[in-house]
Amino acid sequence: MDLKTFLQLFVLVVRALDGTIFVEGNLFDVDFSAQRENILPNSARPANSSRVFYGIMMDAGSTGTRIHVYSFIQEDPDGLPYLHNETFHSEEIGLSSYVNTPEEAGKLVRELLKVATSAVPRAMWHKTPLVLRATAGFRLLPADKAHVLIEEIKEVFSQSPFLVTSRSVSIIDGTYEGILAWVSLNFLMGHLHVDMKRSAGVLDLGGASTQISFLPKCQKTVNKAPTDHVAKLEILNTTYLLYTHSYLKNGLKVARLLTLGALGDADPGKKVFKSLCLPKNYSDNYTFGGITYEVRGNINGYNGYETCYKEVLKAIKGSVRKPYNVHENMFHAVAYYYDMAKDSGLIEGSQDEHVEVKRFKKKAKEVCGDKSKDHYGKPFDCMDLTYITALLTEGFGFQDSVGLQLTKKVKGFESSWALGAMLEYLHKVRIP
């Protein structure tokens, strides 16, 4: 099979069922047929004289800015590339936080580019594509301010030694982000082939948005879903209906503001926002999206799981939809699902641990009910764990006994939508 024919085998087309186009683009194709099912390279596979090429993807998230430097091996000019290596680095601040100081965003991007110049051989710089995709943090900004930040990033990119095009910097919508996360996970797991029955769903909890994407096992799930919750996905000349939706403002950090009643307040600088989810004597500032809020615990209220649960429901009721028969599908929970489980001691940091939903509830009750300390080191743990519990149960409709795979990496690679975005971009610019 020549490469041109191969690339035509895997085309991603996203449309609403009524025909309205949301996203349409050719995704860099991978042959997942039986004879090439193991798309990831064996760690002992030598590069020898094979061609190695690179791609750089920056993920401009709401609470972090990450860089992924991928290397691929092209063993045969007419064959398939293998994902060979990934260099990853993360800074725990989103570029959208610099909404009022865009030059600081530029400085952070320049610092991250040092990771790329170290990971990519100098001789390959001019032919290695450099890409940045911004997500919910940017989607929440006023359009004019987001534009200024994007222009600053473009200017920094233009001064870099890497391959930059007019498509290099953009803001992606939430639906597309969810689809790319699903593609990335199942690509790494080797599930994107003719038999899709083993494909896994993805629950992605970011700072400003959350996504759910899965291939329904029940046709009724598709029939009952709104048209903008279902996308057509064509893989190996077969059309699949993917349930996928992004909920802006339901990310972990924005959900805090919804719980506090602070999001969208006309004059947050002159108010104090209280919550029963916070330690009674807690008082501090909370900054998100360039805005600072004064927050406190409620000294006159009862701090506990039940009262906190009632508060966090404000962030979920009326905004998150339960997919029909969602419990029939196997899901990997990534990003803050994993991070909160690890940071709270729910898991011990295993890269892929199976956890029942009720364990999130148990941990939330434990943290919220602990009167022996004020949790000043992690004052939002009660709120965050309770929110995750409510999002999974009240929001998406998972039963307590449902198990989720808490995932950080798959086969040594970061489980992130960034890989899917990189693969698509490589095809668009005809690399290799």
CATH of the domain at 80: 3.30.420.40
Alpha-carbon span 355 to 401, nearest angstrom: 9
pLDDT given at position 174: 93
Report the b/e string of 159-191 with b at 16+ CB within 10 A.
Answer: ebebbbeeebbebbebbbbbbbbbbbbbbbbbb
Domain that holds residue 395: 252-410
pLDDT given at position 195: 61
Residue 234 domain flag? no
Residue 177 is a catalytic residue: yes
- Determine whether 312 is exposed, middle or buried from the number of CB atoms within 10 Å of its CB (0-12, 13-18, 19+): buried
Assigned token pair, 104 = 């600081």
pLDDT given at position 78: 60
Say if residue 211 carries a ligand binding annotation.
yes
pLDDT given at position 350: 67
Report the b/e string of 344-377 with b at 16+ CB within 10 A.
Answer: bebbeeeeebebebbbbbbbbbbbbeeeeeebee
Report the b/e string of 219-233 with b at 16+ CB within 10 A.
Answer: eebbeebeeebbbeb
Does residue 25 share a domain with residue 166?
yes
| Per-residue pLDDT tens listing for the chain (432 residues) | 333 333 343 444 443 333 333 333 344 332 322 222 332 333 334 444 468 999 999 999 999 999 999 999 987 766 556 899 999 999 999 999 999 999 999 999 999 999 999 999 999 999 999 999 999 999 999 999 999 999 999 999 999 999 999 999 999 999 999 999 998 999 888 887 656 778 999 999 999 999 999 999 999 999 999 999 999 887 767 788 999 999 999 999 999 999 999 998 888 988 999 999 999 889 999 999 889 999 999 988 777 999 999 999 999 999 999 999 998 899 999 999 999 999 999 998 766 789 999 999 999 999 998 755 555 578 999 999 999 999 999 999 999 999 999 999 999 999 999 999 998 898 777 776
β-bridge pairing 291-297 and 272-275: parallel
DSSP run (H or E) holding 59: strand 51-60
Does residue 421 share a domain with residue 291?
no
Say if residue 209 carries a ligand binding annotation.
yes
CA neighbor of 115 nearest in space, from 160, 163, 83: 160
pLDDT given at position 428: 78
Say if residue 405 carries a ligand binding annotation.
no
β-bridge pairing 81-91 and 130-134: unpaired
Residue 216 domain flag? no
Residue 189 domain flag? no
pLDDT given at position 299: 86
Does residue 418 share a domain with residue 406?
no
Does residue 384 share a domain with residue 262?
yes
Give me the number of domains the chain comprises: 2
Residue 226 domain flag? no
**DSSP result, 245-276:** EEEET-SHHHHHHHHHT-TT-S-GGG-EEEET
Does residue 406 share a domain with residue 267?
yes
Does residue 45 share a domain with residue 172?
yes
Residue 187 domain flag? no
Gyration radius (Cα) of the chain, Å: 22
pTM recorded for the entire structure: 0.86
Residue 224 domain flag? no
Residue 285 domain flag? yes
Does residue 157 share a domain with residue 20?
yes
CA neighbor of 34 nearest in space, from 239, 240, 184, 191: 191
Assigned token pair, 389 = 């519990």
Residue 144 domain flag? yes
Does residue 161 share a domain with residue 306?
no
CA 190: distance to chain centroid? 20
Does residue 162 share a domain with residue 15?
yes
Say if residue 35 carries a ligand binding annotation.
no
pLDDT given at position 372: 52
Adjacent-strand bridge partners of 132: 58, 169
Query: Is 308 within 8 Å of 368 (Cβ atoms)?
Result: yes
Annotated active-site residue in 86, 152, 177, 414:
177
The CA-atom distances, in angstroms, between 420 and each of 55, 154, 193 are 12, 22, 16
Query: Is 58 within 8 Å of 112 (Cβ atoms)?
Result: yes
Alpha-carbon span 66 to 421, nearest angstrom: 14
Alpha-carbon span 78 to 6, nearest angstrom: 9
Within a 10 A sphere around the Cβ of 301, how many other Cβ atoms?
15
pLDDT given at position 36: 27
